[in-house]
A and B are shown apart, each in its own frame.
Chain A
Amino acid sequence: MSDTNTQSSSGRVPENEQDRIDEDPQVPGFRSWRGVYIFVLAFFVAVVVLLTLFSRHYA
């Protein structure tokens, strides 16, 4: 069975109907999940920069 199939081996109803509706992350300021991922990466980079500045300040 290919992973593109929508039915599980156990025959349960797939949950992708609800999931498809959720393509929009419904997060204020973000229209796609790509935007959310970019924000998380940018936040991580900012944290690393702040940690570096913190270390230098108290070195």
Chain B
Amino acid sequence: MNTFDWIVLLGTMIGIAAYGAWHTRHTNHLDTYLKGSKTTRWGTIGISVMATQASAITFLSIPGQGFESGIGFVQNYFGLPLAMIIVCAVFLPIYRKLGVYTAYEYLGSRFDAKTRLLGAGLFLLQRGVAAGVTIYAPAIILATVLGWRLDMTVVGIGVLVIVYTVTGGSEAVSLTQKFQMGIIFVGMVTAFILLIFRLPEGLGFNEAAHVAGAMGKLQAVDYSFDPEKRYTLWSGLFGGLFLSLSYFGTDQSQVQRYIGGAALREGRLGLMFNAVMKVPMQFFILLIGALLFVFYQFQPAPVFYNRVEWQRHANGPNGAEFRAIEERHAQLHAAKQETIRAWLEVRHHSDAAVQLAAREAMQAAEAETQAIRKEAKDLLLKHDPRAKVKDSDYIFIGFILEQMPHGAIGLLVAVMFSAALSSKAGELNALGTTTTIDLWRQFRPLAAHDERRNVRVAKWWTAIWGLVAIAFALYAGLAENLIEAINIIGSIFYGVVLGIFLVAFFIKRVGGTAVFWGAVVSQTAIFVIYFLRLRFPVLDFSYLWYNVIGCAGCVVLAVLIQLMINLGGGKGRTA
């Protein structure tokens, strides 16, 4: 990065944060601070919902996913449009009708205080732990490739987001997210256009897409029912619906984004904007990854894309082994390039048998290259068992730094930081709001009418959660497989929370006591399954199933407990 890149990066990041803080500095009404401006229109709400979901990891990892496994990952988002419609038709009108600040406040209205505290507590526990990761995960990648100090990167992102989120609350979050998403859109379109221009002469988008397709990178939709396959239309529709419903319908970091606004119409249209835009947007980001794959077929490509990590070992005492693999990879890569060019030659002119032979030769060469990449990762693990061998997160950022012109580098690094700040801001805003409304105010009911005090307390809690996130991110490196651990923690809690909300919305006869104990028992069962999975292999299934078990368990148990209460003549229904 040169001076021009730094001007672009710091200018956009500090400029947006400073404008957000300055523009909302006089926010002292609780409604505005927690829900945003009363005049917010659907466009701002829609962008805010999108920005909160799209973290820096989205823009670092998803192109890498397209590069490695193709664009099939897009199916993961197929349940989202349906979930959005359910949230629009059922969840949002009730939240607005009650005028709640948090989703858990609704549980207090529908059930009782203990169920509200349970919902809020589960959210704070899950999001609070995850808060550090949304800073740490992009910071570790950016610090590695840019040669920055990790602690300074973490503190820089954290302090910047705390300043404007604490100052202007929800209004500042929505305002800055609008500009940050603008940077992201411009940056990603710029990257796409420059990538097309960087392809070898005579290889336009169409030919490049044919190469990617022949290598199996453009298989977007898989209609098979094979449970072994990770991404299919059906797993995307079912699993995606389930996860999107719990995330958009019950997670305060999303609920807070659409609950305010000028009218119900604005929230609904904002969600519909996401229902329409999300799948095409994810397809576009994955397509960049697939085209990056084609780009690197015609360039000297590294055997391992986290070049800093690789060089550390290549320059170490076992360097000879690493350099030998590098050389073998370079030879195979050059041979593969020849097979691709041969296939492109015969693709239009020869008969089908020749075409097929050329295609098979190209695919065999790709398989050999993949085998040597695996060998390289095994070698890294052999000499450093703690080495992070997942290098796909480094592919897109590596391309940006090596292939983009100055100015565009600054813009694309700003894309990553914008995404980190926008998702972090939504998260902090939700954590501060939930702690103030569902915990602090619950124990200080007389303070509910002192609006200024409420705003002050919400600001303090937002700042405290920001500092907790920074502290966690600074020590996150101590934990192994941290990101997966956080995903597991999310799955452990998400199902039960969704179960509570589904009972609240759809099973009117079930009261607070029944759903509370149903949730407690289901949550305990999930913990038991998780901790006993190593001792009993039958319990060692994918953690994504915790969502289904938690939700179904909570709903079924709540209904059964309610039946028992009714049979016993008790008053299970909250008055």
Contacts and interface: CB of A to CB of B under 8 A. Distances in A.
Interface of A: 1-3, 5-16, 18-19, 21-22, 25-27, 33, 36-37, 40-41, 43-44, 47-48, 51-52, 54-55, 57-59
Contacts of A18: 262-264
B264 A3 contact: no
B212 A58 contact: yes
B275 interface: yes
Interface of B: 74, 78, 81-82, 84-85, 88-89, 93-94, 96-101, 105-106, 108-110, 209-210, 212-214, 218-221, 233, 262-265, 268-269, 272, 275-276, 279-280, 283, 448, 504-505, 508, 574-575
Contacts of B110: 1-3
Nearest to B216: A59
Given A8-B99, A37-B88, A51-B220, A44 B105 contact: no
A34 to B, nearest CB: 9
A40 B276 contact: yes
B98 A8 contact: yes
A51 B85 CA distance: 22
8 contacts: A2-B508, A3-B504, A19-B263, A25-B265, A27-B269, A40-B276, A55-B220, A59-B219
- Interface of chain B, main secondary structure: helix
A59 B265 contact: no
Contact of A8 (B100, B275, B574): B100
B78 A40 contact: no
Contacts of B574: 1
A33 B87 CA distance: 13
Contacts of A58: 209-210, 212-214, 218
B140 to A, nearest CB: 33
B105 A40 contact: no
Contacts of A44: 78, 81-82, 275-276, 279
B218 A10 contact: no
Nearest to B206: A58
Contacts of B448: 10-11
B233 A13 contact: no
